[in-house]
Amino acid sequence: MANRRLSDLAKTIRSKNAGVDKYTFDVIFADRASYELVRESGVLSREAVCRIFGIDAARITDHVAFDPALAIKFTIARPTPSGSPGDADIFGAQQYGPLLDIEVPGS
């Protein structure tokens, strides 16, 4: 099977603030098959998230595959508090961009 982009498999990919010092990410799927494919592929594992965002594992404060909601959720500590001088994304709503083009194998 050919690879597909995460943005083609997920119903929702978003990020937002989780308080003033964290970003939270939600990747939500419309069907169980897509959710399980992505979950099992490891493309959104804790280690993969570190590579994608170029961060140390200590910055990932939560990482959950939540089966009842067909969602993969993770939270990353911000480098500076929201609204600090030089903060280019006060609401954290633009942080999900690197997730869109992830290639999911065997989809």
pLDDT tens track, the chain, 107 positions: 689 999 999 999 999 999 999 999 999 999 999 999 999 999 999 999 999 999 999 999 999 999 999 999 999 999 999 999 989 999 999 999 999 999 999 85
Phi, psi (deg, nearest 5) at residue 100 = -60, -40
Strand partners, 55: none
Give the per-residue pLDDT at 106: 80
Q: CA 44, CA 88: separation in Å to the nearest integer? A: 25
Beta-carbon contacts of 66 under 8 Å, excluding residues fewer than 6 positions away, are: 72, 73
Amino acid 41: pLDDT: 97
Q: What is the pTM of this model?
A: 0.93
| CATH (residue range 11-80) | 3.30.70
The separation between CA 20 and the C-alpha centre of its own chain, rounded to angstroms, equals 18
pLDDT of 58: 97
Amino acid 89: pLDDT: 94
The DSSP code sequence of 2-56 is: --EEHHHH-SEEEEEESSSSEEEEEEE-SSHHHHHHHHHHTTTSHHHHHHHHT--
Domain ranges of the chain: 11-80
Q: What token pair was written down for 7? A: 């943005």
